[in-house]
């Protein structure tokens, strides 16, 4: 079951030969003899190179004001350092990965992925992303061990955290065009990606059980757990050195037979260096502790139909964040020092015909505290995807966004995703 599920969900650009160097599979799950055999093959030390093209066409019923409304709703949860146009309007990255949510066509990102075995003891991955033909971002660059004993594995560098279920997946592996609101607000606009180290252990058992811990630097640029405030000097705050963020996770999958796969997970993250600006002109800020908890579940039924017809994919995540904050820089106590947030999503994707998939996603996010009334946002999304081959996908998606004190906003996405070159199978 451990090696079969990623092949079933390979999606775009899956290459069975790349399984030997797939960085998303636990290296400890591969027997040492298999690793040694792979290291001796002619292609082992030739890195797999792939390019992923991700473009979208976007329209909404709010005259492109959706970003501003979402920003006003989640004020303080995301990076305060947004770009402004000449009128002072915020240009907010609701689409993620450098794509500002504006109507019309855009090349949201082009991803260059290099992955391979370094030697019989280490593998490596480099993931470069070009957003809107302007910004080049090093999204991931990490190494992992392949020969630690007793199911242990070490990963270090810059990588996607395994907090929750969806965060570790690249955007081209999502079943919907955009991130769920809870993931975006509580982990980061592009998910939780950071520099650090991960240690995990895979149990030798008739079921799948993996435990892991991560220690991350806690860079504030896109890290919602540590907070959106990067420049602390104007607020009289100490700029403490990292690492600033610690987290742990448990992944469990019982043996259900060939056609069914289920995975359950629990995650927790903690930092005592959260910082958030309250009033930049007055130099007011808060700092303190953040605790984030997550639970996730994913289920796959592999139907006997051709081209994925009849396949069923269920996925859900729930998050709860608690904070204990105090004024920074010796300023008077602020009224909202115990903010809380709860949110999540549930989605289902079904193979309606050979190479056709249809999905439904429901999501909600509530913000509040002991002193503030709760604020809510809800969204429902439906989509239809056509996969001509395992290397290409065309998707249409419609969303109904309901923010407090505003009428519903309808969003429409038309997305294409294409994979060029050898690309490893995606993890379950």
What are the DSSP calls for 134-156, one per residue? TEEEEEEEEEEES--STTEEEEE
The pLDDT tens digits for 60-119 are 887 766 777 776 666 545 444 434 333 333 343 455 444 456 789 988 889 999 999 999
Query: Mean pLDDT, to the nearest integer, of 166-176?
Result: 95
pLDDT of residue 367: 87
CA–CA dist 77, 398 (Å, integer): 25
pLDDT at residue 30 greater than cutoff 90: no
Phi, psi (deg, nearest 5) at residue 66: -60, -40
Across residues 268-292, what is the average pLDDT? Answer: 85
pLDDT at 40: 47
The helix (H) or strand (E) run that includes residue 5 is helix 4-8
Mean pLDDT across the chain: 81
Fill in the DSSP letter of residue 423. Answer: B
pLDDT at 275: 85
Angle at CA of residue 363, ends 246 and 245, nearest 5° = 10
* DSSP per-residue codes, 26-90: -GGGS-HHHHHHHHHSTTTTS-EEEEEEEEEEEEETTTT-HHHHHHHHTTTTS-S--EE-TT--E
Q: Is 116 within 8 Å of 123 (Cβ atoms)?
A: yes
Across 43-52, 325-334, 395-404, the highest mean pLDDT is recorded for 395-404
Would you state the pLDDT for residue 403? Answer: 83
Tokens of 182: 């809870």
Please give the pLDDT value at position 284. Answer: 79
H or E segment to which residue 123 belongs: strand 122-131
pTM of the model: 0.84
Confidence (pLDDT) at 28: 41
Task: Report d(CA 163, CA 175) in Å as an integer.
Answer: 18
When pLDDT is averaged across residues 372-385 and rounded to a whole number, the result is: 88
For the chain, list the domains and their CATH numbers. Answer: 4-421 (2.40.160.10)
Answer whether residue 21 shows pLDDT above 50: no
Instruction: Please indicate whether residue 42 or residue 358 has the higher confidence score (pLDDT).
Output: 358
Q: Is the pLDDT of residue 329 over 70?
A: no
Confidence of residue 407 (pLDDT cuts 50, 70, 90): low
The whole-number pLDDT of residue 287 equals: 85
Query: Would you state the pLDDT for residue 90?
Result: 35
| Whether the Cβ atoms of residue 395 and residue 57 lie closer than 8 Å to each other | no
pLDDT digits (tens, 9 = 90+) for 195-248: 999 999 999 999 999 999 999 999 866 688 998 777 777 777 777 778 999 999
């Amino acid at each position: 079951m451990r090696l079969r599920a990623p092949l079933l969900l390979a999606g775009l650009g899956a290459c069975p030969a790349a399984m030997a160097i797939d960085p998303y599979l636990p290296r400890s799950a591969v027997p040492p003899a298999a690793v040694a055999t792979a290291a001796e093959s002619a292609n082992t030390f030739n890195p797999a190179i792939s390019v992923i093209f991700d473009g979208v066409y976007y329209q909404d019923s709010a005259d492109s004001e959706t970003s501003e409304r979402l920003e006003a709703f989640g004020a303080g949860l995301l990076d305060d350092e947004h770009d402004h146009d000449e009128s002072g309007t915020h240009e907010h990255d609701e689409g993620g990965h450098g794509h500002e949510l504006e109507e019309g066509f855009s090349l949201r990102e082009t991803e260059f992925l290099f992955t391979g075995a370094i030697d019989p003891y280490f593998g490596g991955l480099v993931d470069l992303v070009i957003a809107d033909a302007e910004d080049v971002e090093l999204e991931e660059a990490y190494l992992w061990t392949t020969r630690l004993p007793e199911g242990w594995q070490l990963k270090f560098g810059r990588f996607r955290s395994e907090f929750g279920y969806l965060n570790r997946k690249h955007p081209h592996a999502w079943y919907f065009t955009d991130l769920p609101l809870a993931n975006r607000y509580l982990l980061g606009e592009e998910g939780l990606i950071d520099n650090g180290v991960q240690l995990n252990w895979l149990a030798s058992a008739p079921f799948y059980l993996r435990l892991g811990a991560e220690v991350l630097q806690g860079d504030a640029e896109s890290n919602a757990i540590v907070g959106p405030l990067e420049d602390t000097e104007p607020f009289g705050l100490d700029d403490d050195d990292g690492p600033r963020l610690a987290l742990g996770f448990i992944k469990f999958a019982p043996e259900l037979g060939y056609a069914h796969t289920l995975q359950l997970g629990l995650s927790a993250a903690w930092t005592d260096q959260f910082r958030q600006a309250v009033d930049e002109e007055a130099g007011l800020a808060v700092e303190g502790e953040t605790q984030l908890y997550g639970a996730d579940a994913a289920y796959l039924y592999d139907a006997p139909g051709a081209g994925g017809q009849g396949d069923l994919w269920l996925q859900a995540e729930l998050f709860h964040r608690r904070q204990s904050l105090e004024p920074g820089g010796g300023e008077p106590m602020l009224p909202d020092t115990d903010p809380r947030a709860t949110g999540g999503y549930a989605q289902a994707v079904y193979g309606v015909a050979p190479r056709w998939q249809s999905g439904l996603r429901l999501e909600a996010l509530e913000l509040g505290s002991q002193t503030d009334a709760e604020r809510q946002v809800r969204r429902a999304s439906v989509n239809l995807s056509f996969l001509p081959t395992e290397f290409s996908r065309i998707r249409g998606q419609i969303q109904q966004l309901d923010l407090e004190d505003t009428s519903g906003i309808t969003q429409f996405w038309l997305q294409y995703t294409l994979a060029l070159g050898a690309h490893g199978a995606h993890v379950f």
